[in-house]
Structures are given as C-alpha cells and as structure tokens.
C-alpha cells in the first residue's frame, strides 16, 4: 500500500508530494494530457525497482537539473517502509531503505 510519494526534479513536472492515505481500496489518477500522471507512475516504479524498462535513468531527471529525488512511504505485510532514491546526471541511483524506522 503506497501511503505517500514525494517527487523532486523528475521528468518535466514538479510534484512536491502526493498523499494517498485518504484513498480506500483502489484509487484512480486522472487528469489532462501533460498533468503528470505518467510521472507519478514512473516515480513509483523507479522508487521500487531502481529503473524503468526501456528508459535510461538519466532521462528521468528534469531538463536543466542535475539530480532527481524520489521518496516513497509504503506499508507491506504490516511493516512501514520508506524508500529514497536519488538520481544524478550519470544515471546512478543510491538507495536508502528503512523498515519500521530502521535503515
């Protein structure tokens, strides 16, 4: 269960923070073309897996920026997870994971 996502300098959109805690069951992300729906989906995939099939990691950084940051707060099997991935212009993505507050 994804509780919250924070996206900084990913693709061309800046979505500071999206909180999903008030959504019960399945949720829908909708909006006009160019509103950032794909950015949210790609940020979740990148946060969990560290890459997106068919894309170079460096392509995920907003144009003109040198790094990007994705933070995910999730719950899985009763445990609280915090995942932080940073991207630099070389496509490297250091990973930080905390489970129930411990690294």
pLDDT, tens digit, for every residue of 29-56?
788 887 778 888 888 888 898 888 888 7
SS3 102: strand
C-alpha distance from residue 37 to each of 18, 28, 46, 68 (Å): 11, 10, 14, 17
Predicted local confidence at residue 89, as pLDDT? 75
**CA nearest to 7, candidates 60, 69, 51:** 69
Better-scored residue on pLDDT, 1 or 24 = 1
Phi and psi torsions of 87, nearest 5°: -115, 135
Which is nearest to 66 in space by CA: 28, 18, 17, 10? Answer: 10
> What is this structure's pTM?
0.78
pLDDT of res. 84: 94
Residue with tokens 């997106």: 52
pLDDT tens for 56-103 read 777 777 778 888 888 999 999 999 999 999 888 776 777 899 999 999
Q: Is the pLDDT of residue 17 over 90?
A: no
């Amino acid at each position: 269960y994804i509780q919250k996502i924070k996206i900084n300098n990913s693709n061309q959109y800046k979505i500071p923070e999206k909180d999903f805690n008030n959504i019960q069951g399945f949720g829908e992300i909708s909006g006009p073309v160019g509103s950032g729906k794909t950015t949210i989906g790609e940020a979740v995939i990148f946060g969990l897996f560290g890459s997106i099939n068919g894309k170079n990691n460096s392509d995920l950084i907003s144009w003109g920026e040198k790094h990007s940051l994705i933070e995910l707060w999730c719950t899985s099997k009763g445990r609280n997870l915090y995942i932080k991935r940073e991207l630099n212009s070389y496509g490297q993505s250091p990973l930080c994971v905390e489970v129930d507050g411990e690294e």
